[in-house]
């Protein structure tokens, strides 16, 4: 194909094995990567690999790209599959005149104020929101909208820096010394959280599936188990699919893998429920989304993301709602961190519908910085109905045990089983 591709990489696992889905002998491929992301890259196949201390350093990213262009010629494509690398990729495209999503288009899928504005303009329900770069603007939002409300970064991810503000006292604690330059406030939506993952090419939705979440990413980040179960209600699936298509059109997502989050909330009038847009990422979902899609549905969302952005024709069958129902459960790290894992109970063969698990081996240090990647255990399920998966999650929660001790104490010191906080499972 003779494409010249620049890849920005910060992944440290198999997701960074780009040679599995990009033919490095047909295309010329160069990398800008972090030091931690260097090992999975195939140096023998790569045109060049440049290690940067910080991929968010725009000046250094542009300088290194310029050097690569000088040595090897202009690039035809820039790939950035991590959400945190979309902005520098957009700057590279603009600076070097490379086709693809530039800074303004990146803002539509990264800046939550911009994206909600575009989705609202398309006639879809979004939470009341406002950019709030000063404490006075935050207080003004609270006075107008009341408590609780959400204070979070405009361009955050993984629930970093997200706060549900439930009282004036809590608000004042948060505002004390806070850097609000990138802050926004939005209405708190009391409803069931759904995630919709999908692949769109040439503006056409190839496949998608909605998942009912037990808890939220914020709950998981603060120490509560998180579950997600694929929806098998065909009427709701049709409804949420139309919603997702309208969101993609509003944000000009035409050749992407996306991860959309919406609330299903009661209408204020009491007449049924409505879908409320929360946010979207122009990338494959995190947590166990990529793993479970490949294990149960045979779709590699990371490979699809790369290939669809490169313009390769994809053949992906629409999701079969009469087929298997997948689900997963992620257990949070212990309440005292860093903690050392002493033992964790395998549930393989003990829980019906449990198809695979990933457990931290004894001696693993859980630092509290693992996010949804390095957890205290993940469990994946496959069944013919969502109710069976939900029951399997309940059984897993009841049987799960992680023994640990604080890093600075001996194994026979304080410690014990991880907190098994209840996860909401629909039923």
Residue 372 CA to residue 364 CA, distance in Å, equals 16
Q: Which residues contact 423 (CB under 8 A, 6 or more apart)?
A: 214, 215, 224, 225, 226, 227, 329, 393, 397
Question: Looking at residue 222, what is its pLDDT?
Answer: 63
Question: Looking at residue 216, what is its pLDDT?
Answer: 65
Say whether both 46 and 163 belong to one domain.
no
Does any domain span residue 426? Answer: no
Say whether both 208 and 276 belong to one domain.
yes
Say whether both 28 and 42 belong to one domain.
yes
Does any domain span residue 123? Answer: no
Residue (of 28, 64, 32) closest to 46 by Cα position:
28
| Contacts of 171-179 spanning 24+ positions with Cβ under 8 A | 171/138, 171/139, 171/142, 175/135, 175/138, 175/139, 178/135
Say whether both 299 and 255 belong to one domain.
yes
Say whether both 176 and 285 belong to one domain.
no
The count of domains in the chain is 3
Does any domain span residue 113? Answer: no
Say whether both 166 and 218 belong to one domain.
no
CATH number at residue 24: 3.40.50.20
Asked whether the whole model's pTM tops 0.85, one would answer: yes
* Residue 353 banded pLDDT, cuts 50, 70, 90: very high
Residue (of 379, 362, 270) closest to 327 by Cα position:
379
Q: Which residues contact 242 (CB under 8 A, 6 or more apart)?
A: none
Does any domain span residue 265? Answer: yes
Helix (H) or strand (E) holding 31: strand 28-33
Q: Which residues contact 239 (CB under 8 A, 6 or more apart)?
A: 275
pLDDT exceeds 70 at position 427: no
Last residue in a domain, options 108, 138, 171: 108
* Residue 174, token pair as written in the block: 């948060």
Residue pair 92/98 in contact by the 8 Å Cβ criterion:
yes
Does any domain span residue 309? Answer: yes
Count CA atoms closer than 13 A to 313's CA, side-chain side: 1
Say whether both 261 and 402 belong to one domain.
yes
Say whether both 148 and 199 belong to one domain.
no
Say whether both 162 and 296 belong to one domain.
no
Last residue in a domain, options 108, 137, 161: 108
Does any domain span residue 114? Answer: no
Does any domain span residue 115? Answer: no
Q: What domain range is 19 assigned to?
A: 4-108
Does any domain span residue 298? Answer: yes
Q: Please, is 65 exposed, middle or buried when counting C-beta atoms within 10 Å of its C-beta (0-12, 13-18, 19+)?
A: buried
Residue 287 CA to residue 160 CA, distance in Å, equals 14
Which alpha helices (DSSP H) does 77-201 contain, by range?
A: 86-96, 103-110, 112-121, 135-145, 168-175
Say whether both 218 and 336 belong to one domain.
yes
Give residue-wise pLDDT tens across range 174-191. 999 999 999 999 999 999
Give residue-wise pLDDT tens across range 379-389. 999 999 999 99
Say whether both 235 and 283 belong to one domain.
yes
CATH number at residue 160: 3.30.1490.20
What mean pLDDT is reported for the chain? 92
Say whether both 12 and 154 belong to one domain.
no
Question: Looking at residue 420, what is its pLDDT?
Answer: 36
Last residue in a domain, options 187, 203, 223: 187
Q: Nearest 5 degrees, angle CA 238-CA 381-CA 209?
A: 20
Question: Looking at residue 368, what is its pLDDT?
Answer: 77
Give residue-wise pLDDT tens across range 154-178. 987 767 889 999 999 999 999 999 9
* Residue 380, token pair as written in the block: 């994946």
pLDDT exceeds 70 at position 219: no
In this structure, what DSSP letter does residue 64 have?
A: H
CATH number at residue 319: 3.30.470.20
Question: Looking at residue 363, what is its pLDDT?
Answer: 93
Give residue-wise pLDDT tens across range 268-300. 888 999 999 999 999 999 889 999 999 999 999
């Amino acid at each position: 194909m003779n494409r010249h591709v620049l890849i920005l990489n910060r992944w440290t696992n198999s997701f960074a094995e780009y040679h599995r889905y990009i033919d490095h002998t047909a295309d010329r491929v160069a990398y800008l990567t972090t030091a931690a992301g260097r090992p999975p890259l195939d140096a023998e196949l790569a045109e060049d690999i440049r290690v940067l201390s910080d991929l968010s350093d725009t000046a250094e990213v542009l300088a290194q790209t310029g050097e690569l262009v000088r040595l090897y010629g202009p690039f035809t494509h820039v790939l950035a599959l991590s959400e945190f690398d979309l902005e520098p990729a957009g700057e590279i495209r603009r600076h070097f005149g490379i086709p693809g999503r530039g800074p303004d288009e990146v803002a539509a899928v990264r800046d939550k104020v911009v994206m909600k504005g575009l989705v609202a303009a398309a006639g879809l329900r979004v939470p009341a929101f406002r950019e709030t770069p000063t404490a006075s603007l935050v207080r003004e939002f609270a006075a107008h909208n009341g408590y609780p409300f959400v204070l979070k970064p405009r361009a955050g991810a993984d629930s970093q820096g997200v706060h549900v503000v439930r009282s004036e006292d809590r608000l004042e604690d948060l505002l004390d010394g806070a850097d609000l330059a990138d802050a926004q406030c939005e209405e708190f939506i009391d409803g069931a959280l759904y995630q919709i993952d999908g692949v769109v090419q040439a503006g056409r939705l190839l496949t998608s599936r909605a998942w009912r979440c037990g808890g939220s990413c914020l709950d998981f980040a603060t120490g509560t188990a998180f579950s997600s179960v694929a929806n098998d209600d065909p009427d709701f699936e049709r409804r949420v699919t139309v919603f997702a298509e309208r969101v993609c059109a509003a944000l000009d997502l035409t050749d992407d893998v996306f991860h959309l989050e919406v609330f299903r909330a009661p209408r204020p009038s009491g007449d049924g429920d409505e879908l409320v847009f929360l946010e979207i990422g122009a990338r494959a979902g995190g947590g166990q989304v990529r793993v479970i899609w490949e294990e149960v549905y045979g779709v590699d969302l990371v490979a699809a993301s790369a290939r669809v952005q490169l313009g390769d024709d994809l053949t992906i069958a629409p999701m079969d709602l009469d087929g298997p129902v997948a689900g997963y459960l992620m257990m949070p790290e212990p309440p005292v961190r860093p903690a050392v894992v002493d033992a964790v109970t395998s549930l393989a063969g003990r829980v019906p519908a449990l198809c695979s698990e990933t457990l931290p081996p004894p001696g693993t240090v859980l630092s509290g910085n693992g996010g949804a990647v390095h957890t205290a255990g993940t469990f994946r399920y496959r069944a013919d109905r969502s109710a069976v998966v939900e029951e399997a999650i309940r059984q897993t929660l009841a049987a799960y045990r992680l023994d640990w001790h604080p890093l600075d104490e001996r194994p026979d010191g304080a410690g014990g089983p991880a907190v098994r906080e209840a996860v909401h499972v629909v039923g």
